[in-house]
Amino acid sequence: MYRIITVCIVFIFLSVRSFSQDIRLFLNNFLETIQSEHSLKDFFTDDWTFVYHKDDRCEGSTDGEIENLKSHQIDEIIKLQVKNDGNGWACEKKEPKTFELKFNLKQQLKIWDQLEISFINVKNDVVYLRGYGESDFLRIFIRKREGKLYITHLEYRSEDPG
């Protein structure tokens, strides 16, 4: 019985390790493609989700989400409705507002001083790519579909470090 349990644990460990290596290779290719300014569409599914979150000490939190994006939309300006709560901690409170945000990942990444893998959670298929200092990062969900890895969910997050 212990031999069966040991074999199962080793198999699970090797499967997770192999998947982790696959994710690292996938991410390295993704980072190289970003730096080369080539299309990113091959890394995304045709039904991916984009989440935007920005926390600003004066403006407060700005949040929005758009689902069912096509893979080619990662290379374009993404328009989404966002809501700002106006509740910044360093300034006088403002009225909440909703507006259309135009987000371009490639343009955003051009101002980042770094782009590196900072954390991989293989259990949940979540990866964090750190960017502009410690405050801006991408949270990426990766899933295997038909034997190939794809990004199914991308979050852009900017946290005011103040």
At 36-73, the pLDDT tens digits run: 889 999 999 999 999 999 999 999 999 999 999 999 99
What is d(CA 64, CA 18) in angstroms, rounded to the nearest whole number? 34
Tell me the whole-structure pTM to 2 decimals.
0.81
pLDDT band at 124 (very low <50, low <70, confident <90, very high): low
Count CB-CB contacts under 10 A for residue 27: 20
Whether pLDDT at 83 is above 70: yes
Give Cβ neighbours of residue 3 (< 8 Å, ≥ 6 apart): none
Could you give the percent of the chain with pLDDT greater than 90?
A: 52
Q: What is the pLDDT of residue 6?
A: 29
- Cβ atoms within 10 Å, residue 48: 22
pLDDT recorded at residue 108: 84
